[in-house]
Amino acid sequence: MDGGVDLAAVQNFGTALLIGALIGIEREKRKTLEVKPGIGGLRTFILIALLGATAGWMADTLRMPWLLVAALLVVAAAVLAGYVIAARQDPDSLGLTTESAAIVVCLLGAMSTLGYRELAVALAIATAAVLAYKQPLHGFVARVGWEDLFAGLRLLIATFIVLPLLPDRPIDPWEALNPNSLWLLVLLISSLSLVGYVGTRWLGADRGTALTGLTGGLVSSTAVTLAFARQSRADSRTATAHALAGGMLLAWTIMFCRVITEVLVVNRAILLQVLVPFALMGVSAATAAWLLFRSSASSQDTTVARAREVPLRNPFSLTAAAKFGAFFAVILLLVKLVQTYLPGKGLYMVAALAGLTDVDAITLSMAEYARNGDPKTATNAIVVAALTNTVVKCAMAAALGGPALRRPVLTGTGAILAIGLVAIVLL
């Protein structure tokens, strides 16, 4: 109203000032720590944000967008001049981080008064985080090899180039195979594995059996099982065996959590039915792992602290994705054929066979099946696949691991199987 205070405008300008202060504090602190010349600190960034906010407000109010362009050019010119002066003072410290941040702050200030205040705040927080986490980000890049970079590019190619080209319709007589949907689910599995792989690289694969089991379980619980089983042969101490068995069971726990996540993404209508048995199995595996770690920690031998590096490779390659997609397509087709010609218990046989090598494919196919089929049958089939896979990994651990490893692994597996079978019978 005329003569009144425009509270919205006050909030917008206040937001711009806070954005400038947020990034300015980080730049001021960084300049103090690194003792390098820079174009400005806290006050400079607040003024730049205010300039952007004022230019945006005037451009919108007066319908003169060139004012914002002019303000941005002024900031760019000042930044360039400051950069040249700083480069002359210290040629070895060339960088455009602070200069780029100044231009970003000007634009964010303008966004605050142009109706995009919430987005401006979110972007300001993200910008401050990128600036503040300099060392961790550089450290992560140092750990990334060329193979990891190529794998990331392949994932982007598979997501944004291959996926849109695939037909979004069934291509088989039974209407079981939709290439677009199938590839999308392949990308889901690859992304989950990639999260675990990145976590392992970020934390380091030798930080102990617990962390290795947690992060490695996202990539491949089978790989963790094999690696820990082999390590137990080289170190036959009971404390070591308990720690390695605990790491295995943690990796299996992550597998159960992974199944829940996949069902949540694909068909949340059966989430509650899947959640109960898999949460119980996960809790039993996690509890057994905790008891084993506790037993290992209470041992008189305090040298048992770390696990050897688990040989995990970057989980994404186009070849691996294509192989999983083909396997997944076979499972989908088998499920459809059994549903058509052998309805009922035949699905459990398919689930048991699929679980010998992989749980993801049968989980996704059963989640799809539950859209039009019996949810209880789908849930039980997923449980059967998980139990079969657990038995296979237990057999690997017993066959390849040392004698001290077998008893705790067999005990943990027995608890998981008991809970899984009870879930099938009662739920």
Domain boundary assignment for the chain: 7-132, 145-426
The average pLDDT across 308-334 equals: 73
pLDDT at 410 over 90: yes
The average pLDDT across 385-398 equals: 93
What pLDDT was estimated at residue 258? 92
Per residue, the 3-state secondary structure of 346-395, as one string, reads HHHHHHHHHHCCCCHHHHHHHHHHCCCCCHHHHHHHHHHHHHHHHHHHHH
Per the model's pLDDT, the better-predicted residue between 345 and 312 turns out to be 345
The average pLDDT across 322-348 equals: 81
What pLDDT was estimated at residue 212? 78
Residue 304: pLDDT band (50, 70, 90) is: very low
Per the model's pLDDT, the better-predicted residue between 14 and 228 turns out to be 14
Alpha-carbon span 327 to 186, nearest angstrom: 10
Token code pair at residue 9: 């405008």
Cα-based distances in Å from 159 to 164, 297, 323: 8, 44, 16
Grouping H, G, I as helix, E, B as strand and the rest as coil, residue 356 is coil
Alpha-carbon span 234 to 250, nearest angstrom: 21
- Which H or E element spans position 150? helix 146-157
Residue 201: pLDDT band (50, 70, 90) is: low
Grouping H, G, I as helix, E, B as strand and the rest as coil, residue 280 is helix
pLDDT at 77 over 80: yes
Per the model's pLDDT, the better-predicted residue between 318 and 254 turns out to be 254
Residues 6 or more apart whose Cβ sits within 8 Å of residue 70: 55
pLDDT at 205 over 80: no
Alpha-carbon span 173 to 233, nearest angstrom: 51
pLDDT at 2 over 60: no
Spatial contact of 389 and 359, defined as CB atoms under 8 Å apart: yes
> What is residue 20's DSSP assignment?
H
Alpha-carbon span 232 to 234, nearest angstrom: 5
Spatial contact of 38 and 27, defined as CB atoms under 8 Å apart: yes
The average pLDDT across 200-204 equals: 60
Alpha-carbon span 254 to 248, nearest angstrom: 10
